[in-house]
Amino acid sequence: MATEAISVRVPGRSAGHDLRAVKVVLHREMLRFVNDRTRMLSMLMQPVLWLFVMGTGLGSLVQGSIPGVDYRTFMYPGMISMTVIMTGMFSAGSIVWDREFGFLREMLVAPVSRGAIVIGKCLGGAIVATGQGVVILAMAGLVGVPYSPTLFATLLAEMFLAAFTITAFGVMLAARMKNMQTFFGLMQMAIMPMMFLSGAMFPLANLPSWLHVLTVVNPMTYAVDPMREAVFSHLNVPAAVNAVLNPGVRWFDFQVPVALELGIVAALGAALLAVGVAEFKRAE
Amino acid sequence: MTADPAIAVRGLKKTYGKVEAVKGVDFEVRPGEVFGFLGPNGAGKTTTISMLCTLVNPTGGSATVAGHDVVKERDEVRRNIGLVFQDPTLDGYLSAEQNLRFHAELYGVPKRVVGDRIRQVMEMVALWDRKDAKVMTFSGGMKRRLEIARGLLHSPRVLFLDEPTVGLDPQTRSAIWGYINQLRLTEDITIFMTTHYMDEAEYCERIAIIDHGEIVVIDSPEALKASVGKDRVQIQTADDTEAIKALRERFGLDAAVHEGAVTFAVASGEEFVPRLFAELGMPIRSVSVSRPSLDDVFMSYTGSTIRDAESGDGNMAWMRAMARR
């Protein structure tokens, strides 16, 4: 130890400093994901099973009623959102993991705003989830969806938005959780009904009114529908079939436009993020 | 240095429900000092350190660390302190260097010094050659060393070490003490630590003995031991009975045979030994002088040994047997 100590002056808080914190929390999220191959695979397993096994099986059953469209093509946008949502939730769950293993403490005693940490986490989750979604995007050809650059750009943006919102939701849940089992239990409880009621598995047209109400209040519906809208706009589908498979979302007589749907998802994401930040501030 | 105290604490208090974990403590730590909090588990050490580190809000009283209030200027305090917790807070899936880089970014260490500084602190704890290994492959001692390096990365003015050597083997413990001592030479830093190992408290310049949420006494280990009083002197002679008789007649001392040697207590053992040789009037084969230990100090201030205090009233004998192995 002959070397002179390198002097470090830690600067006061600034926007630049918070930005660095956001970036490094995000960076860690990605490193963790890239290092964990099993997680990557297991996150892909479920949607692929749904798409190619369930989709093929059910598809042969309903073939007659939807002429000209492969049932798997219908399921495709739903499975993209499913992948994104599962991955985003898992990323959020790592907060609970960090708490159990003490790393959360390292972040919480740092001289940065809680907001920077939570935003970094949500962005990280969203990017990882979008990356996972890209793998499903790559399979488009297998289910008869064209490889169109505009379509993919639209889907990517929508995926990112959905992923950010769901990660924010997960972070909000995880803020108070003490162990992984509770979190994953709760996550299953929240995700399954949201999944089933979102139109990811079956079309939302001609549903009994009680079920219709549930699908309309389900926030995930507004994440899935724009993706389906995007996919179907790039397909040649008979109008009658399109009305069955891609009915959009209706509030009474009002057909909800895609822009509003995306706005709902974004607003929800921002609100959940704010709640998450507030929870971390309060937890001190 | 006539600077302001590194840590100043006034009537600091923390209650959890009806339990008073810390009952209003007062103390000051001077800049550059190694200050130890000594007490049994559950005495309020970790609660105090958590309040000083802005992790827990005090119920009452006030504290400043590096000149900043721990409640009102939380961020300022955080910028100026380094922390090494009792439990590891590393990300096992990241490499050692990645863990430090994360810390540097989070603390806003200027970009152009990050790399050099990481190398410097890792070399200090002899982990530079393992920088690319995942932390989960590290032993407990390596993890603790890495945490110490990380705690120093942003050049804190005060380093908090909560039981830095608990659960480590003796060799690693002494290595960690080596780093801490070396630190005081290379960095301008104040160290505040908690421990329940008596022998480690000896390394501190001053220690506060804390028991049941209150500070019983604060002083240097030397002064504390002196306050307890007498040194223990043991001599080996050819004829123990004769020696005991001579000690009583010539020095007025009560001696007895303990552990196979004639044992007695005097105020200042080292000064007494020359007189002993000159005046005892019989040959002495060997002599040993032992200072009162911090165990004796703890005992005299709290009325129990630290191990008894930790085991409560029950199985004391068993604990003592365990401690002796």
- Of the two residues A142 and B41, the one the predictor is more confident about is A142
Q: Which two tokens stand for residue A186?
A: 């709760």
Contact A8 B113 (CB under 8 A): yes
Q: Between vectors from CA A210 to CA A208 and to CA A213, what angle results, nearest 5°? A: 110
pLDDT confidence tier of residue B322, bands split at 50, 70 and 90: very low
pLDDT of residue A134: 92
Tell me how far apart the alpha carbons of residues A39 and A149 are, in angstroms, rounded to a whole number: 29
Write down the pLDDT at residue B3. Answer: 64
Interface list for A 79-108 with B (CB within 8 A): 98, 101-103, 105-108
Kindly report, residue by residue over A205-245, the tens digit of the pLDDT.
Answer: 888 989 999 999 999 999 999 999 999 999 888 888 888 88
Over range A150-155, report the average pLDDT: 95
In the predicted structure, residue B264 carries a pLDDT above the cut 90:
no
Place of tokens 């950010």: A164
Which residue of chain A comes nearest to B73, CA vs CA?
Answer: A111
Pairwise pLDDT comparison (A260 vs B284), residue with the higher score: A260
- Residue B175: pLDDT over 80: yes
Tell if the CB–CB gap between A31 and B94 is shorter than 8 Å.
yes
Inform me whether the pLDDT recorded for B311 exceeds 90. Answer: no
- Within an 8 Å CB–CB cutoff, is residue A28 touching chain B? yes
Which helix or strand (DSSP H or E) is residue B244 part of? helix B240-251
The three state secondary structure string of B197-247 is CHHHHCCCCEEEEEECCEEEEEECHHHHHHHHCCEEEEEEECCHHHHHHHH
Q: Is B140 on the interface with A (CB under 8 A)?
A: no
- Indicate if the pLDDT at residue B291 is higher than 80: no
Nearest neighbour of B91 by CB, restricted to A7, A103, A109? A103
A40 touches chain B (CB under 8 A): no
Q: How far apart are CA A248 and CA A225, in angstroms?
A: 6
Chain segment B98-137, per-residue pLDDT in tens: 999 999 999 999 999 999 999 999 998 889 999 999 999 9
At residue A4 the predicted structure's pLDDT band, cuts being 50, 70 and 90, is low
Q: What tokens were used for A62?
A: 């309903």
Residue A242 is predicted with a pLDDT of 86
- Does residue B1 register a pLDDT over 50? no
Of B88, B98, B110, the CB nearest to A102: B88
Mean pLDDT to the nearest integer, A164-193: 90
Looking at residues B165-189, what average pLDDT do you find? Answer: 82
Query: Which among B94, B106, B116 is the nearest to A21, CB-wise?
Result: B106
Q: How far apart are CA A257 and CA A263, in angstroms?
A: 10
Closest residue, chain A, to B77 (C-alpha) = A111
- Asked if residue A129 has pLDDT above 90, the reply is yes
Go through chain B and tell me how many residues it has.
Answer: 325
- B37-75 confidence digits (pLDDT tens): 988 888 888 899 999 999 889 999 999 999 999 999 988
**Does A23 lie at the interface with B, CB-CB under 8 angstroms?**
yes
* pLDDT over 50 at A85, yes or no: yes
Question: Which of B54, B76, B186 is closest, CB to CB, to A5?
Answer: B186
CA B104 vs CA A122, B97, B149: distances in Å: 21, 10, 11
Structure tokens at A196: 């089933």
Q: Which residues pair with B159 in a beta bridge?
A: B82, B191
Q: How many CB atoms lie within 10 A of CB B106?
A: 25
Average pLDDT for B244-265 = 82
Q: What is the pLDDT of chain A when averaged over all its residues?
A: 88
* Integer Cα distance of A30 and A39 in angstroms: 12
Q: ipTM, 2 decimals?
A: 0.84
User: Does residue A250 or residue B7 have the better pLDDT?
Assistant: B7
Q: Which of chain B's residues have a Cβ under 8 Å away from the Cβ of A25? A: 106
Q: Is B254 on the interface with A (CB under 8 A)?
A: no
In whole angstroms, give the CA distance from residue A61 to residue B200: 76
- pLDDT at residue B194 above 80? yes
Chain B contact for A118 (CB, 8 A cutoff): no
Pairing of strands B60-65, A254-255: unpaired
A2 close to B (CB below 8 A): no
Per-residue pLDDT at B304? 67
